[in-house]
Amino acid sequence: MKAIFPLTKVAVLLITLLVCCLTHLTAEELKQVKIANGEWQPYTSSKMKNYGVVTHIVTEAFKLEGVKAVYDWLPWKRAYQSVVDGSLDASPGWIQTEKRMADVYYSDPIFENKLVFFHLKNLSFNWSKFTDLGSMKIGATLGYNYGTEFQEAEANKIIDVVRVKKDEQNYKLILNNRVQLFPISLDAGYYQMRKYLKPDQADLITHHPKAIAETRLYRLIVSKKNPHANIIIIKFNKGLHQLKTLGLYDQYIAELRGGGY
């Protein structure tokens, strides 16, 4: 009877070592990541070159670590849920929130999104708070959240906001002087102008350098239930760091701002 206990301990030790080895091998053999992606031009889109700049960054970061990124295109709500429930491994372009942190791990930031006012070049103004905007009309898009301060200023009638169905309508409103300002992310604004306006029209519009809201950092998410979550995040972060060191990250951002996607 005394011999049973030493044998049991040895068996437990062997099983533990076997599990550790298998886990290590699985992590080292990670060659593919299934990613839930969605439409958010110019950052991610199944219709764009390299699927948009963010997707391009994600693909190349994983590739530098020997991992192939495979994409499944879904509405964003389903994309998030597919990661949480484990049917897909990861998804790019998410802001870190306390609520989501209960479900997912976050990578290092993939890109930052600066929200600014677009306006006619011949409109000269400066502002530090929303009360400085006076009687200027602001075009905005239905359903969009432009940050806590903007939303509160709109709700309290501190700013005069006109909401329309689609972003592209706001550029026409600016050109026709029906609104003076339109809030949108810096890169998305210039991308949309190239897409929806004639070159001579787009040349009439610029942006104010002051950010409307705190710059948002967008990251890759992986479910905490995913058995390979840590290795996926580690590999992606390492690849992203290499991408920046090699100068490729800056190259992709420059291509985005030059209309390359």
Q: Would you tell me how many other CB atoms lie within 10 Å of the CB of residue 26?
A: 12
75 band by pLDDT with thresholds 50, 70 and 90: very high
Residue 26 DSSP label: H
CATH no., domain 31-112+216-257: 3.40.190.10
Fold match flag (31-112+216-257 vs 115-207) = yes
The rounded mean pLDDT for the chain is 89
pLDDT tens-digit readout, 140-182: 999 888 988 999 999 999 999 999 999 999 999 999 999 999 9
Domain 115-207 has CATH 3.40.190.10: yes
Question: How much is the pLDDT for 123?
Answer: 96
Region of poorest pLDDT, from 15-19, 36-40, 89-93, 188-192: 15-19
Which parts of the chain are beta strand (E)? Answer: 32-37, 68-73, 90-95, 104-113, 115-120, 137-141, 160-164, 182-185, 205-207, 216-223
Give the SS3 label for residue 39: coil
Distance CA 201, CA 140 (A): 19
The residue ranges of every structural domain in the chain are: 31-112+216-257, 115-207
pLDDT tens-digit series, residues 89-123: 999 999 898 889 999 999 999 999 899 999 999 99
Question: What average pLDDT does the segment 230-255 reach?
Answer: 97
What pLDDT does 20 receive?
44
pTM: 0.75
More confident residue, 114 or 26: 114
Q: Distances in Å between the alpha carbon of 226 and those of 22, 32, 71, 101, 229?
A: 16, 14, 17, 14, 5
**Per-residue pLDDT at 216 exceeds 90:** no
Q: Using an 8 Å Cβ cutoff, are 19 and 73 in contact?
A: no
φ, ψ (nearest 5 deg) of residue 171: -70, -40
pLDDT of residue 26 exceeding 60, the answer is: no
Give the pair of three-digit tokens for residue 260: 């390359």
Contact yes or no for 152/195 (Cβ under 8 A): no
The answer, yes or no, to whether residue 74 has pLDDT greater than 60, is: yes
Q: Look-up: residue for tokens 């993939």?
A: 110
